[in-house]
Amino acid sequence: MTDPRSDRFVRSHLKTRHLVLLVELGRHGSIAHAAQAANLTQPGASKLLGELEHALGVQLFERLSRGVAPTWYGKVLIRRAGAALAEMDAAHQEVMELLSGLRGRVGVGTVLTPATGLVPKAINLLKARHARVHVSVNMSTSKALVERLRSGELDLVVGRILDTEAADELNFEPLTDEPHVLIARASHPLMERDDLKLDDLMEQCWILPPAGSILRDRLTALFLSHGLEQPAETVETLDMPVVASLLLNNDMIVALPAEAVQPYLDVGLLRVVPFDLGVSMDSFGIVTRKRHQLSPGADAMLTALRDAAASIYPHYRIPARD
């Protein structure tokens, strides 16, 4: 059963400064630094933290010799506090938008492939419809982006849900999977081969995503399943301008969806290597928070993403609006 003390505290006494302090403690790991960031005295911050722990009946932070570290309970409250503060900021933004016409900010997170086609096309649509909406785009891995979405830092993510614990909090609207092909510069020696084997590719210099990424794991599994060592020559990066420059100026290869480098393929600077990798990624899609009302600007961005997706992905169908 829920402790009635907690209910009374949360509903009657929990203040914005408690939420701000939680977020800053999670950010700084120090009561002194968190107090300064939250515009509190250190004794005042300690008192607020003590109130929270007493009301909830759990320890939120471990006191260490060099600061504090959140317990499991503390991590939950930090994330929820960040989302609550983000909601209040969004509420203020929404009121301002309604007063002055559709404007404001929308934060979009995206993984690599949609960052090169879908998201720019959606932004162009949004700007044509609502020029005063400011769009902030963040590119990273799905895991990092979804965490920022859950904490309220982002409004929408185009990526994947990899954490089963987070799935209950999120809506996922699949767009397309990502078959990967081998890409190299047009004059790469491999382009003249029609008898390529995986052994030949092992000897090439590969551009790879960082260890721990889904694609890296699948490429590793591909070589291991054929009894082969991993490529000895590698460069790790997710930065598309760096990838493109390396490919154009060196005999390197990379596994990517063709969409990610389509402009280079169209003008013949890069080509698809004649070898079927048989590697694809799980479907990516539009990720939003359940039970969360998007601001007018974010909702307009969602509409633009759906319209852009309908023009790019043949099997995608725009869902009916509630």
**pLDDT (0 to 100) of residue 51:** 85
* Average pLDDT of the segment spanning 191-198: 89
- In angstroms, the first-to-last Cα distance of the chain is 35
**pLDDT (0 to 100) of residue 17:** 85
Strands (E), the chain: 61-64, 67-70, 104-110, 133-139, 156-159, 170-179, 181-185, 205-208, 234-236, 252-256, 270-272, 280-289
Region(s) of the chain under CATH 3.40.190.10: 101-177+283-312, 181-278
Cβ-Cβ contacts under 8 Å for 46 (sequence gap 6 or more): 31
* Average pLDDT of the segment spanning 282-290: 90
Half-sphere exposure at residue 247, Cβ-oriented, CA atoms within 13 angstroms: 27
* Average pLDDT of the segment spanning 120-142: 92
> What CA–CA distance (Å, rounded) separates 275 from 281?
17
Position 150 pLDDT exceeds 50? yes
Quickly list DSSP for 207-235. EEPPTTSHHHHHHHHHHHHTT-PPPSSEE
Position 3 pLDDT exceeds 80? no
Please determine, looking at this structure, whether the domain spanning 101-177+283-312 carries the CATH number 3.50.50.60.
no
**pLDDT (0 to 100) of residue 97:** 62
CATH number for 4-79 (one of 1.10.3210.10, 3.20.20.70, 1.10.10.10, 3.40.1190.20): it is 1.10.10.10
Burial of 272 (0-12, 13-18, 19+ CB in 10 A): middle
Provide the 10 A C-beta neighbour count for residue 72: 9
Radius of gyration for the chain, computed over Cα atoms and rounded to the nearest angstrom = 24
Tell me which CATH code domain 181-278 carries.
Answer: 3.40.190.10
**pLDDT (0 to 100) of residue 179:** 79
- Lowest average pLDDT, out of 79-93, 118-132, 279-293, goes to 79-93
**pLDDT (0 to 100) of residue 8:** 57
More confident residue, 225 or 91: 225
Percent of the residues in the chain that have a pLDDT greater than 90, as a whole number = 40
